[in-house]
């Protein structure tokens, strides 16, 4: 939704001091635009709310190099879930020691790479993974610091696709396995187990489940004083519509900080840092009035932003030029050949004409990173409005037809 960085001024949508339409007019649509000031402001707010914690930005939510570079420059560590994410973070100056490598299915090659790069932490989700790390570390004559990811068996209040802390989720180790590993640490001379990791889900709608998960983690590590670090994952929520009620980040801090006293704490926020810093700007192509509704066909689709199609996620969509006209129930859809290719369902929008531009709000997290070439669409460019608020740059260019075919071979 709107905030101090993304708002109307004199009837025009602005990203900081840059008129959004001026960017779209220059480089075309669809285009992602990010306010670096907003992302940095969100990072600083979380750092202030959790002063004892070290914040590792969850790269999976937005892996744009300019965004990563700005956040790393402001003191963020990195939460990476693939060797590719580690590679991108290192490229823009992340300290390897400030990277947490997580993931339910790390390959042996990825573990090799991470250990060779000397990442600070590996969050372990599988006993066999411990064996891999142990043997790789031995080859390199080192010990690797790890945290065990606990599946605390609590159910987070969020969309089922992004809840991860219940017992039948694929994530983490059961309490029993964690206890067993901790009791047998001497089996792993190449590993120092120094932390416990939990992440019960994203876009959390209550604080109680996280509180419970932290308490369970603490009970488990109580007999093991060498486990001093608690990594409590991500999950801080963002309101995607004016009527979505989510707990304030202060509420999470108020509940969790007293519990975390005496531990070293790691947080892995993604969405909360970048979601409301980003827009996806598109242009209306066609309008149809049928079946009692308005169907607005725009030039962005589920290929550029899959959240509405995948999770029935709601994003506010607003015209770049404020329009006080009468509002109608409108379906904002893309050109992709799927009925699920919907960016906005039953939105109240004024009548818009082909050629008018719109912005999908709160698109900075899990937007471009989940984009695809479905229907052989070209992935859009990413623009950042720099921290000065006045200048912007193309941080990733629009793909071309050459990009579409670059990795393919024709036989015969
Ligand atoms: N740490 C771990 C271990 C995670 O699995 C995640 C997100 C995070 C941190 C960051 O969570 P956040 O602060 O962003 O809530 N594509 C979905 C969200 C998937 C989240 C996956 N894990 C969406 O668009 O809503």
Contact criterion met (CB below 8 Å) for 256 and 232:
yes
Backbone angles phi, psi at 346, to 5 degrees: 50, 45
Q: What is the pLDDT of residues 290-334, one digit of tens each?
A: 999 999 999 999 999 999 999 999 999 999 999 999 999 999 999
Pocket test for ligand 1, best of 60, 76, 160, 313 (most atoms within 8 A of CB): 60
pLDDT for 169: 83
For the chain, the distance separating the N- and C-terminal CA atoms, rounded to the nearest angstrom, is: 52
Q: 187 C-alpha vs ligand 1 centroid, how far in Å?
A: 32
- The ligand 1 atom nearest the CA atom of 204: 15
- The ligand 1 atom nearest the CA atom of 268: 9
Which residue's CA is the nearest one to ligand 1's atom 7? 202
Strands 144-149 and 121-124: parallel
- Give start-end residues of each CATH 3.20.20.10 domain in the chain: 36-273
- Give start-end residues of each CATH 2.40.37.10 domain in the chain: 6-34+275-405
Assigned CATH topology for domain 36-273:
TIM Barrel (3.20.20)
Residues marked as catalytic = 337
In which residue ranges of the chain is pLDDT below 50?
none
Q: 362 C-alpha vs ligand 1 centroid, how far in Å?
A: 15
pLDDT for 330: 98
Pocket test for ligand 1, best of 50, 267, 270 (most atoms within 8 A of CB): 270
Is the minimum distance from the CB of 387 to ligand 1 under 6 angstroms?
no
Which residue's CA is the nearest one to ligand 1's atom 24? 366
6-34+275-405 is classed CATH 2.40.37.10: yes
Prediction pTM value: 0.97
Q: Taking phi first (over 0 means left), then psi (-120 to 50 degrees means alpha), and beta for anything else, what does residue 389 get?
A: left
Token pair belonging to 262: 């005496």
| Burial group, residue 26, by CB count within 10 angstroms (0-12, 13-18, 19+) | exposed
Contacts of residue 348, defined as CB under 8 A and 6 or more positions apart, other chains included, come to: 327, 328, 329, 330
């Amino acid at each position: 939704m709107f905030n101090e960085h993304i708002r109307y001024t004199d009837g025009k949508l602005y990203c900081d001091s840059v008129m959004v339409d001026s960017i779209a007019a220059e480089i075309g649509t669809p285009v992602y635009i990010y306010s670096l000031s907003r992302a940095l402001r969100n990072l600083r707010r979380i750092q202030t709310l959790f002063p004892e914690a070290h914040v590792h930005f969850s790269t999976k939510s937005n892996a744009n190099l300019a965004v990563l570079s700005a956040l790393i420059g402001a003191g963020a560590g990195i939460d990476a879930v693939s060797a590719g994410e580690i590679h991108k973070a290192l490229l823009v100056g992340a300290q390897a020691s400030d990277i947490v490598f997580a993931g339910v299915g790390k390959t042996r090659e990825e573990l090799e790479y991470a250990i060779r790069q000397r990442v600070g932490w590996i969050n372990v989700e599988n006993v066999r993974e411990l064996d891999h790390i142990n043997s790789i570390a031995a080859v390199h004559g080192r010990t690797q610091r790890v945290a065990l990811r606990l599946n605390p068996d609590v159910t987070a209040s969020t969309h089922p696709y992004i809840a991860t802390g219940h017992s039948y989720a694929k994530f983490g180790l059961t309490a029993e396995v964690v206890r067993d590993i901790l009791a047998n640490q001497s089996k792993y001379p190449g590993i120092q187990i120094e932390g416990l990791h939990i992440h019960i889900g994203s876009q959390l709608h209550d604080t109680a489940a996280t509180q419970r998960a932290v308490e369970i983690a603490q009970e488990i590590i109580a007999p093991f004083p060498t486990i001093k670090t608690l990594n409590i994952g991500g999950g801080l929520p963002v309101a995607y519509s004016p009527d979505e009620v989510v707990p304030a980040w202060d509420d999470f801090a108020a509940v969790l900080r007293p519990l975390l006293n005496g531990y070293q704490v790691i947080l892995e926020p993604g969405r909360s840092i970048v979601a409301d810093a980003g827009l996806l700007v598109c242009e209306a192509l066609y309008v149809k009035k049928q079946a009692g509704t308005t169907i607005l066909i725009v030039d962005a689709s589920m290929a550029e932003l899959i959240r509405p199609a995948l999770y029935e996620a709601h994003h506010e969509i607003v015209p770049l030029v404020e329009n006080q006209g009468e509002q109608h129930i409108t379906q904002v859809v893309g050109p992709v050949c799927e009925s699920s290719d919907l960016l906005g369902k039953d939105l109240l929008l004024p009548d818009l004409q082909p050629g008018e531009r719109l912005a999908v709000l709160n698109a900075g997290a899990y937007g471009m990173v989940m984009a695809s070439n479905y229907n052989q669409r070209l992935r859009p460019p990413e623009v950042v409005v720099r921290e000065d608020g006045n200048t912007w740059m193309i941080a990733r260019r629009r793909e071309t037809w050459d990009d579409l075919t670059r990795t393919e071979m024709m036989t015969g």
